[in-house]
């Protein structure tokens, strides 16, 4: 039996998968018949590069996708294309109708994906803006605290200077009294 499945590669906790056609008896990362794409779940949304024609051909030949591959193929519209093609083969719809339905579905799917990307980028931008504003507030608070500390220190320093100048003549006067005696 031939399967459409993922073969893992990449480093620890940073997995990237190859989308392969393999015999069901071969090991996960072992021998395969053909490599038809890659899948990177580490990005948001996940990056899927797939030779859709080859995947469709293998599905029509009877290759069975694993659960994860079934989700990927559904996401890319290949399972829907297979469904429509089976309808064409049975005579339920024409090829033009099937192509029209697939194109309509693909345009809706592209819109959803673009909306998600836009939402994520705007959320990232607003998050960055809020972090910068919070950082600016902290900076202002620190600046104010430093200014207040300097204002508190300046009068204390002036009082020390005044007290030192007042003590100096008193000390001189005390020194003169002791010499006269």
Helix intervals (H) in the chain: 52-61, 67-76, 78-90, 95-180
Q: How far is residue 8's CA from residue 101's CA, in Å, rounded to a whole number?
A: 34
Q: How far is residue 119's CA from residue 9's CA, in Å, rounded to a whole number?
A: 30
Residue pLDDT, tens place only, 74-127: 999 999 999 999 999 988 888 899 999 999 999 999 898 889 889 988 888 988
The helix/strand/coil state of 18 is strand
Taking 70 as the threshold, does the pLDDT of residue 133 lie above it? yes
Domains of the chain: 2-93 (3.30.1320.10)
Q: How far is residue 158's CA from residue 117's CA, in Å, rounded to a whole number?
A: 61
Taking 70 as the threshold, does the pLDDT of residue 155 lie above it? no
CB 20 within 8 A of CB 80: no
* Residue 22: per-residue pLDDT: 92
pLDDT average, residue stretch 147-151: 84
Q: How far is residue 52's CA from residue 54's CA, in Å, rounded to a whole number?
A: 6
Rg of the chain (C-alpha set): 38
CB 37 within 8 A of CB 48: yes
Taking 90 as the threshold, does the pLDDT of residue 39 lie above it? yes
Terminal CA-to-CA distance of the chain, rounded, Å?
A: 122
């Amino acid at each position: 039996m031939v399967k459409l499945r993922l073969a893992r590669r990449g480093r620890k906790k940073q997995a990237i998968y190859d989308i392969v056609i393999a015999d069901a008896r071969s090991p996960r990362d072992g021998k395969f018949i053909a490599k038809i794409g890659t899948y990177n779940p580490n990005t948001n949304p996940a990056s899927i590069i797939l030779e859709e024609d080859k995947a469709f051909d293998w599905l029509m030949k009877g290759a069975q996708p694993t659960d994860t591959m079934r989700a990927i193929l559904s996401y890319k519209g290949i399972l829907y294309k297979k469904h429509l093609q089976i309808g064409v083969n049975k005579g339920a719809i024409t090829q033009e109708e099937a192509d029209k339905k697939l194109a309509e579905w693909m345009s809706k799917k592209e819109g959803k994906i673009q909306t998600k990307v836009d939402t994520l980028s705007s959320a990232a931008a607003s998050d960055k803006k809020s972090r910068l504003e919070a950082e600016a507030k902290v900076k202002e608070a620190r600046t104010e605290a430093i200014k207040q500390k300097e204002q508190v220190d300046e009068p204390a320093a002036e009082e020390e200077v005044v007290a030192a100048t007042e003590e100096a003549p008193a000390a001189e006067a005390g020194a003169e009294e002791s010499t006269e005696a």
